[in-house]
């Protein structure tokens, strides 16, 4: 069995994943279907924090875009711009920022 060298220390989640997978590989062959299934599930668990972070960033950016658009629209409209112009100015400003 080849020995793996880690390029960097493992964090807690990665270490638990490696230990869990090692336990299954020891009791089964690496090509066994239960080992492959466990690898797939553990890979998803490792990606879960990244997925949650991406969702949080998209949510915050979306709320910010809506508030920014509304603010720019009200500002343009209060300066006696036509409704269509106020909408276009709001989109242009948000596009540049």
What is the total count of domains within the chain? 1
Q: What is the mean pLDDT of residues 39-49?
A: 75
Domain assignment present for 75: yes
Distances (CA, A) of 96 to 57, 65, 69, 70, 92: 19, 12, 12, 16, 6
Residue 2 lies in a domain: no
Domain hosting residue 75, numbered range: 12-96
Q: Residue 1 domain-assigned?
A: no
Q: Say yes or no to pLDDT of 15 above 90.
A: no
- The answer to whether the predicted template modeling score (pTM) of the entire model surpasses 0.85 is no
Residue 1 has pLDDT above 60, yes or no: no
Residue 96 has pLDDT above 70, yes or no: no
Query: What is residue 18's predicted lDDT score, i.e. its pLDDT?
Result: 73
56 within domain boundaries: yes
> Does 5 fall in a domain?
no
Residue 3 lies in a domain: no
Q: What average pLDDT does range 66-73 have in this prediction?
A: 86
């Amino acid at each position: 069995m080849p020995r793996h060298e880690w390029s960097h220390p493992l964090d807690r989640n990665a270490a638990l994943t490696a230990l869990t997978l090692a336990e299954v590989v020891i009791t089964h062959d690496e090509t066994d279907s239960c080992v492959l299934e466990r690898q797939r599930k553990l890979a998803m668990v490792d990606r879960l924090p990244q997925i949650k972070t991406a969702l949080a960033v998209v949510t915050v950016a979306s709320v910010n875009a809506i508030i920014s658009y509304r603010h720019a629209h009200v500002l343009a409209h209060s300066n006696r711009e036509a409704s269509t112009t106020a909408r276009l100015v709001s989109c242009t400003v948000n596009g540049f920022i």
